[in-house]
Structures are given as C-alpha cells and as structure tokens.
Amino acid sequence: MNCEQVSKEGAAVTSAAQPIRALVKQIDPASWDAYSSNLVKWLKANGRDGDCVFRLRAGAKLERVYGSGAMFVGQKFSLDDATDTDFSGALLMGTLSFGRDAPRHCHAGLFAQLQEIEGFWQQYIDRGRCAIDTDHRVMFRENNRIVSRDGKSVCAWCSAEVAGH
C-alpha cells in the first residue's frame, strides 16, 4: 500500500499496540508540568492506537531534510503490509510546538529510515519531556525546569545534574 491508498480500516491494531486513550490519561499535563499539553492535544486529535516514537537512523538520507536524530511520533502506514516503507505521523517537535495543528501525514519512504525508540512511552511517563531532550538542551516554554539545589543546577523533572546553565 502506498500513501495514495488511504484506508481508514488500514489501522489493524495488534494487542501490543499502545491504546492512545489510556496513554493520554497517563501523561496529563495537569498532573505534572513535565508533560507537554501540546503532545496530549495532538494525540487526542491525530493519534492512533499503536503510535510510537521513532528516531531517524544514523546516516539516513532524510537527515538532510529533518536533521540527524529527528524524532517522529506515529506508526508504519500500512500495518498489514510487511513491505510498506511509508510512515504515518508527525515530527515530534512539531507536535510539541503546534499541538493539534501539527498535521498527521503519510511520509512516503520514511518508515524504512526510522528506528523505534523501545519503551519510549514508559520513559516519557517516568521522566516527562526529559525522555525527549535527554541532554537538557531544549528550552521548553516553561522556564522552571532547571532549578538550583545545593549549589548545583538540577533538572526539576528528572533530577539529573545539568551543566552549563
């Protein structure tokens, strides 16, 4: 199947697939500010059961378009077609920035260049956006992420010591 053959029934969900409604309840930004409200808005509007988070493989051709290490949320376009190389989803940083307005697209050939980040949703549940920005380089909209504790700069969300802030 390719991107032109869009089928609403195409989302054959396996029992292992992450149900989006259950996930959304676990990452409610009202419960912890480490969770992104825009990601939840995107998942509610555009998410599908089984959506995972992926990273571009090192050396992938599409690094020229998206930059190395770019992360995507979504899934293989056609789950019941082992030869499908297309990806249905969005750039993860786009969902964090634009919420529901970040479109979900079929990206031709992208799935073949992605590597799933195993256990991503559990990491996100545990560490919030630190699961996305493990090096603490991104300045998220909230500016209370890095706090001073015993004279050290520490991440308020995951407790990692952060240098250079």
* 40 is a site residue for Zn ion (CB under 5 A): no
Indicate the residue among 42 and 124 with the shorter CB distance to Zn ion.
Answer: 124
Written as six digits, the tokens of 35 are: 């969770």
Indicate the residue among 27 and 114 with the shorter CB distance to Zn ion.
Answer: 27
Whether 35 contacts 27, CB under 8 Å: yes
Amino acid in the structure at residue 51: D
* 157 is a site residue for Zn ion (CB under 5 A): yes
Written as six digits, the tokens of 75 are: 């899934």
* 93 is a site residue for Zn ion (CB under 5 A): no
* 34 is a site residue for Zn ion (CB under 5 A): no
Which range touches Zn ion (CB under 5 A), out of 8-16, 60-68, 88-96, 148-156? Answer: 148-156
Name which position in 53, 56, 90, 130 contacts Zn ion (CB under 5 A): 130
Which contacts (CB < 8 Å, 24+ apart) does range 143-149 have? 144/33, 145/34
* 54 is a site residue for Zn ion (CB under 5 A): no
Q: What's the first-to-final CA gap in the chain, in angstroms?
A: 48
Classify strands 52-56 and 146-149 as parallel, antiparallel or unpaired: unpaired
Smallest distance from Zn ion to CB 19, Å: 27
Hey, how many other C-beta atoms are within 10 angstroms of the C-beta on 111?
22
Name which position in 43, 96, 114, 155 contacts Zn ion (CB under 5 A): 155
Binding site for Zn ion (CB under 5 A): 130, 155, 157-158, 160
